Structure 1
Amino acid sequence: MKLKGYRNVVKLTLIAMLTASVAAGCSQSNEKPGATAANNSQSTSDKPIEISWMVPQLTEENAYGQKLIEEKFTVKIKPYLIAYADYPQKQQITLGGGEIPDVMLVLDPVSLQKYASQGLLAEVPVDTIAENMPKYKEALDKDAPQGWYYSLSDGKNYGVTTFYPSGRFNAKAEWRTDLLAKAGIDKIPATIDEMTAAFEALKKIGVYGLSSGAPGNAWFALFKQIFPAYGTVPPQWMLKADVVVNGAIQPEAKEALTQLADWYQKGYIDPDFITGKEYREKFIAGKLAYYDYGGVLDLDETNESSMISLAKKTNPDAKIEFAPLPTGSGGQGDWAWGAAGNIIAFGKQLDKDPEKMKKVMEILEATTMSEEGFLELSLGKQGEHWDYKDAGQKQAGGIKLLAPHDNLDKRYGMGLGDGASFNPFTRQFAAEVADKWNPIIVEQSKQYNMPKVDLFGKPDVLPSAGKYWADLLKLKDETFMSIISGAKPVSYFDTFVKLWNEQGGEQLAKEANELYKQVNNK
């Protein structure tokens, strides 16, 4: 699966959506984004524009980041204070009750399609984006063209897809190498067979080999570095002999499930993998030896909240190291999203309030595309929220978050980012901005990087995804967990394939192949 395909996809999309706006989208402004934003803010009205803004992770009243945006852009923000884990449900309840925010983060394409079909969202013509966010649009076209599909519903555009620079990289495989040493393993396992031997040794000292999970045990996260070792990535769309197929129902998935079921039966897998409960905490505490959802910040001992710092509080001899993604009969790799993220959508009422929509676009352009925006919304105040690790080298030497503002949940709650590429309000900065301030992180992220990205970016972009995708994900998760835990035999996989196709998988595969053929003129 190659990003070249995304560019072909977007080529087709832009023909249908943009027409004359292409030229506008390529234009550049000679003014600094921050200065432009400030001038525009003062020229409209002295009275702040009120904007109701729904994003997850912002949890404090009158948060630092909120006040910064309000003062800089002459707006008054009415935020929804929602924790990340509660966000999808609370968003649906809010919209279902007839309350529609002016601005809202929509997490996935299938949700956007549902909200658009219910008449809850304002259409956002791409030429409007090109006119008001020229640098943003140019960066999206260049770095994350598949993102145009995320905001598309029934041939119309309904939002601005966010950047996700870290999606260029897969998560890191991490081993508690102090536990490996304790079990008599002196080499970091690099293959499925070596992992099996290590798990057996770890079992003898009372340590589980692995579990699986992510926030909420997300559907994409189930042993997401094991399946690619067998040559498939459930439930991504992938090419096989020039035909688009879904990774969840391939024979290679059955091979991976056979291995995982064997590991579980032998006691190598934590039984809590089904819920993902305390996955990270167990790794920190030394109850698990392998972690498949790591990142480069985990090994930062200057941050008291990092994985290694917390592990050392439990055991001063704790040691965590990155490792190659495990190699199996089908190669190696790990799930990655690509460089497009979520969607910032606008409530239907903004159809009649274009000035408010333009004001939000102004904020997005000025913050995500400028160094000034990164400093203000991701880092905060130097000396209070962050500082250079080496004043002489500045960002080339790395950035450190300062206590008590080094706790990420606390930072997100107050409307600040993680110092890498994220902030709660506008979500992600363009790669060209974030990379400049995180050269060490970018370089470290390239280590052991073998991302596997869905053929279409996200697997739920197809027209019938709203009808079938949620039920198919539930079927996949329940089946895979049942097979791994031994509740169902591996042979049940064949029944699962039949059910998948009957319950909408066959229709989605048809749509996926039609889209692929259109894009590639086949």
Structure 2
Amino acid sequence: MKKRWKIAFALTMSLSLLALSGCGDGNSSGSGGNSADTAVIDDAQKFDPYGKYETPVEFTIGRNTNHVDNLPEGDTIENNMATRYVESRVNVRARLAWETDDMDQKLSLSMTTGDLPDVMTVGRDILNQLVDNDLIADLTEVYNKTASPGMKEIYGTYGSLLMDQVTFDGKIMALPHTNIGNQHQLLWIRKDWMDKVGAPTPTTLEEVWDLAKTFIEQDVSGTGKTVGFVMDQNAMNFSPVFAAHDAFPGFWIKDNEGNAIYGSVQPEMKNALGDLAQRYKEGLIDKQFAVRSNEEKEALVIKGEAGMLFNPWWIGYTNYKDTIKQNPEAVWIAVSAPVDENGKFKTIRQDPAGSFTVVKKDYAHPEAIMKSINLTTDFLYSLTDDAVQYKKEHADEGMTDNSRWNNEPTQIPMQIDYNDVLKRYYDDIIQADEAGDDSKIQADRLVSLHAYQDFKKNGNNIDVNTYGEYLSRIEGQREANNPNLEVIPAAFYGTTETMKMKWANLKKMEEEMILKIIMGEAPLNDFDKFVETWHKTGGDEIMAEINNK
């Protein structure tokens, strides 16, 4: 059952008054209640995932500002190929209530004025506020009866991780967006450099450091400026190095008794920091990492001065793919290293819920929202024959980028995908390639299949974007599912009341400590001082709240 944290008294009072006065009528604020109230549908059709209303059902939605620039002429964010598909199948229409570049601020204002749209995408803090003040609909019956088999299958791949986060006192109060699994950092290495120095693929942490040292000592870049590792300014992209020391900074993990503890203040963290500080001192880590912009860091790699970095599977969708522009002979491989003493490549499962879609309380047809999401998911991911056929018949209405990731021009923009989609995607490509038949591959994956085939035929002598597609979808996705991977569930993903007030300062203190110790600007024993201060200035309170003690 989902834990909830108390809201500040003043906010509670204002929202409670709002619940009594501003939001008691589901048809207020121009919510499209008239069309919903007069919608004709029998009981069987009402909860049918694809049941069509005889008369239109309309809902209003608050959205992030539309930045889509590839809609065909005459189409809008409210009227395009994706929205027309939903309307044609279930007669549900979305109307824009407002757009904003600051969703949290806009929603906070809307809550105090009573101007809530029928549908909203919110973060965890605002979700808790809306639930505590009884402002949103209970979606339990809607989800259980109206969610499509495809939607339930997708959510089911997360086990209980997703639905637990939206279940309050036994009631499903929101529909979670998803953060797919296996987005951890991988070790990317220039294989042509490894071949040049005659080095094997590293496995252990010591082997990883030795390879960086070899690259530098032999100036394998030939520039006189060879760098071992580039690093993000907060060092969190070095999570595989921390994990090799059994340290998990930035995550709440479970101790041996099952209690939530914070990874950044555990003894293993000190060992990891000591290792990183030594490697920085030896010059194996870019000496300027703390002051380099992301563009400057990318430039080191693109220009061929650095041949090792940590990055998730999607590296091919970044500027790093431009390496082959500078050097057509560059060969990148992804490696699950360093492993721990048991041969496991460890990572913590990131928060599986990115954000949440909620429905205003007393909106007349919450099941219509579920129908819209069902059809949109089918459309984006080509989950049904009907969706595939519709897109074929209306191909001239499509967007320039008609991929599954382009979910903004839909009635309810939601990022929803299988927890194990990277494996599904990779297996789909390989099976289609080996069979020499692309007729059964999911339509949105064809571009990746063709990129793979182009790379096999022409190597790096392909368009840089095609190369990036290959790099991510074949090299990256394959390694993201390495059988030696051990995914550890986090103990807690949410926000407590004390965290709202003190977490920003605690994080700033943590980041400064990590940076100073790695760069040798503070002694390693300053870690112990940080831990003591962390516990005294809010850490203990937060742990007690999380563990409900």
**TM tier, smaller:** 0.5 to 0.7
Q: Deviations over 1:214-263 (max 9, x none)?
A: xxx7x793421111000121122223332532211111111111111222
Counterpart of 2:268, as a letter, is E
Contact 2:63 2:99 in 1 (8 A): no
Counterpart of 2:289, as a letter, is D
The residue that corresponds to 1:187 in the other structure is: 200
Q: CA RMSD in A?
A: 4.5
Contact 1:177 1:321 in 2 (8 A): yes
Question: Could you tell me how far apart the structure 2 residues matched to 1:429 and 1:275 are?
Answer: 34
The residue that corresponds to 1:177 in the other structure is: 191
| 2:373 aligned with 1:372 | no
Contact 2:274 2:524 in 1 (8 A): yes
| 2:254 aligned with 1:239 | yes
Contact 1:152 1:158 in 2 (8 A): yes
Given the two structures, how large is their TM-score scaled by the length of structure 1? 0.68
Task: Name the CA shift for 1:364/1:321 in 2 (closer, same or farther; >3 Å).
Answer: same
Task: Name the CA shift for 1:328/1:138 in 2 (closer, same or farther; >3 Å).
Answer: closer
Q: Deviations over 1:88-131 (max 9, x none)?
A: xx223323444755444445x356436656x5962434333223
**Identical aligned pairs, as a percentage?**
17
The residue that corresponds to 2:294 in the other structure is: 277
The CA deviation at 1:141 is 4.8
Contact 2:348 2:490 in 1 (8 A): no
Q: Deviations over 1:323-352 (max 9, x none)?
A: 1221356865343436833232336xx213
Question: Could you tell me how far apart the structure 2 residues matched to 1:246 and 1:491 are?
Answer: 19
Q: Aligned runs of 1:245-324 on 2, under 5 Å? A: 245-270=261-286, 271-273=288-290, 277-278=294-295, 279-280=297-298, 282-295=300-313, 298=315, 309-324=321-336
1:51 paired residue among 61, 74, 82 = 61
Contact 1:220 1:234 in 2 (8 A): no
The CA deviation at 1:467 is 4.2
Q: Aligned runs of 1:121-520 on 2, under 5 Å? A: 122-133=136-147, 135=149, 136-137=151-152, 139-141=154-156, 143-151=158-166, 158-164=173-179, 166-168=180-182, 170-182=184-196, 184=197, 186-204=199-217, 205=219, 206-213=225-232, 221-244=236-259, 245-270=261-286, 271-273=288-290, 277-278=294-295, 279-280=297-298, 282-295=300-313, 298=315, 309-328=321-340, 332-337=344-349, 340-346=352-358, 350-355=360-365, 357-368=366-377, 372-373=382-383, 405=401, 412=406, 415=409, 425-430=413-418, 438-439=426-427, 440=429, 445-447=480-482, 450-456=485-491, 458-460=492-494, 464-514=498-548
Contact 1:55 1:425 in 2 (8 A): no
The residue that corresponds to 2:437 in the other structure is: none
- Higher CA-based Rg: 2
The CA deviation at 1:484 is 1.6
Contact 2:208 2:337 in 1 (8 A): no
Q: Deviations over 1:373-395 (max 9, x none)?
A: 5899999967999xxxxxxxxxx
Counterpart of 1:507, as a letter, is E
Counterpart of 1:211, as a letter, is V
Number of residue pairs aligned between Structure 1 and Structure 2 = 436
Counterpart of 2:145, as a letter, is E
Counterpart of 2:413, as a letter, is F
Counterpart of 2:186, as a letter, is K
The residue that corresponds to 2:37 in the other structure is: none
Structure 2: which 5+ residue stretches go unaligned?
A: 5-44, 88-92, 220-224, 430-472
The CA deviation at 1:55 is 8.2
Contact 2:137 2:173 in 1 (8 A): yes
Structure 1: which 5+ residue stretches go unaligned?
A: 1-8, 14-32, 300-304, 386-401, 417-422, 516-522
Task: Name the CA shift for 1:479/1:95 in 2 (closer, same or farther; >3 Å).
Answer: farther
Secondary structure of the 1:190 match is coil
Task: Name the CA shift for 1:369/1:264 in 2 (closer, same or farther; >3 Å).
Answer: same
Q: Deviations over 1:12-50 (max 9, x none)?
A: 99xxxxxxxxxxxxxxxxxxx9x966642x43x237544
The CA deviation at 1:483 is 1.9
Contact 1:173 1:324 in 2 (8 A): yes
Question: Could you tell me how far apart the structure 2 residues matched to 1:272 and 1:180 are?
Answer: 23
Given the two structures, how large is their TM-score scaled by the length of structure 2? 0.65
Contact 1:263 1:269 in 2 (8 A): yes
Question: Could you tell me how far apart the structure 2 residues matched to 1:277 and 1:306 are?
Answer: 11
Counterpart of 1:450, as a letter, is L
Question: Could you tell me how far apart the structure 1 residues matched to 2:375 and 2:126 are?
Answer: 27
Question: Could you tell me how far apart the structure 2 residues matched to 1:93 and 1:72 are?
Answer: 32
